[in-house]
Structure 1
């Protein structure tokens, strides 16, 4: 079956990928800082700790990426944050991501790296400003 007809939707699907990934990323920050959604392991994160600072970055970056503002720069920064998160938190617990809980950090890292390279897509503030 030929799926090349789907290629006309590639730009819009890039925007959808950015928006959904940013919403999921935002949820990690809001769980750390606001306790919503409730994740027991993320409760009581001190704001000045590496996890608290990560939560602040995740909230701000999540908002900016949802609306698509400064998308390439923000995506590049949080791609690096997720690489650091993986090697700091997950890798010391074992080699395999499925065993050390690091799958989401790796996926976030590479999705954000892709967005940094590909841009935010047409449904973004950056695109309306001509900065995509």
Structure 2
């Protein structure tokens, strides 16, 4: 087996690992906005429906959880991707043209990473894949 084949054989599992890690970090953004955990300068004061950040926090928390578990991955990733696109253009882009200067680089990365999950799926280590295996048996 050549090196490329060995690396290719890990592709589905690495997809699952990237999905889990990105989902956990995305979910942490939601817990910070909604629950104040972990604390820090970006910690929110909870659920205030007049605050657009609260709506983003809800999506970050619940879509992050679904993405982490690999449950309804494609629709959750689609919603999360769109939310990050909106967040970038509403909250970050007006501050400065360059993403590295306007703090929107994470929103852009999440947007495109989650868009990738819409097409790539959750990988083998997911509840979605587990259900598919159960239905096939």
TM-score surpassing 0.5? yes
The structure with the largest alpha-carbon Rg is 2
For 1:42-57, list aligned pairs within 5 A. Answer: 42-44=43-45, 46-48=47-49, 49-57=51-59
Equivalent position of 2:9 in the other structure: 8
- Equivalent residue number for residue 100 of structure 2: 98
Aligned residues: 131
Kindly indicate whether the alpha-carbon contact (under 8 Å) linking 1:79 and 1:112 is maintained by their aligned counterparts in 2.
Answer: yes
Q: How does 1:1-132 map to 2 (within 5 A)?
A: 2-44=3-45, 46-48=47-49, 49-130=51-132
Q: Distance in 1 between matches of 2:64 and 2:47?
A: 20
* Deviation (angstroms), 1:44: 2.2
Offset at residue 130 of structure 1 (A):
1.2
- Secondary structure at 2:10 match in 1: helix
The TM-score, its normalising length taken from structure 2, stands at 0.90
Q: Give the CA RMSD over aligned residues.
A: 1.6
- Determine if contact 2:33/2:43 at 8 Å carries over to the other structure: yes
In 1, Cα distance between the equivalents of 2:100 and 2:5? 33
Q: 1:45 to 1:89 in 2, by over 3 A?
A: farther
Counterpart Cα distance in 1 of 2:11 and 2:43 = 36
Gap runs ≥5 in structure 2: none
Query: C-alpha displacement at 1:62, in angstroms?
Result: 1.1
Higher relative contact order (CA 8 A, sep 6+): 1
Distance 2:95 2:46 in 1: 20
- Conservation of the 8 A alpha-carbon contact between 2:32 and 2:42: no
